Amino acid sequence: MQQTEIIWSETEQKIAQEAFSKAYQRETSFLINQIRSQATEIVDLDQVWQLHDFLSARRHQIDGKYDYQYSALIFVFAQLVKEGWLHLKDLEGLDQDKLAKIAALTRM
């Protein structure tokens, strides 16, 4: 699949940006709630450092994933769908070829 050759129309760009933003909001809101909840259960220092390790990993993942590049967007959307932060219906309006590629990647 040659992502660099895929053309995104203006309408598709708008749909993509909205879907991307929606996934980001969902994932980061979930993370915020998760941190608040984990923090209330901390009773010893090991748990503090576990929280630190967890945040290090999540920061790395989130920074890496939410880099908006059209050349990688098909793959990013497939990953977000697999992880549950995005649904295929959030991507309705993209052309059939892109949707088919995303759907195929989510099954890999």
Of the candidates 38, 61, 57, 33, the residue with the CA atom closest to the CA atom of residue 48:
38
Given phi > 0 = left and psi -120 to 50 = alpha, else beta, which region is 83?
A: alpha
Is there binding between residue 48 and its own copies (CB under 8 A)? yes
CB of 80 to its own copies, least distance (A): 16
Query: In this chain, which of 8, 26, 51, 70 binds its own copies, going by CB under 8 A?
Result: 51
Asked if residues 28 and 58 have their Cβ atoms less than 8 Å apart, the reply is no
Tell me the torsion sign for CA atoms 52, 66, 80, 78. negative
Is there binding between residue 68 and its own copies (CB under 8 A)? no
Is there binding between residue 87 and its own copies (CB under 8 A)? no
- Residue closer to its own copies (CB basis): 5 or 41: 41
Query: CA angle, 62 as apex, 99 and 33 as ends, to 5°?
Result: 105
The DSSP symbol for 93 reads: T
Query: In this chain, which of 11, 17, 21, 52 binds its own copies, going by CB under 8 A?
Result: 52
Segment near its own copies (CB under 8 A), from 28-36, 72-80, 90-98, 100-108? 28-36
The residues binding its own copies (CB under 8 A) are: 28, 31-32, 35-36, 38-40, 42-45, 48-49, 51-52, 55-56, 59
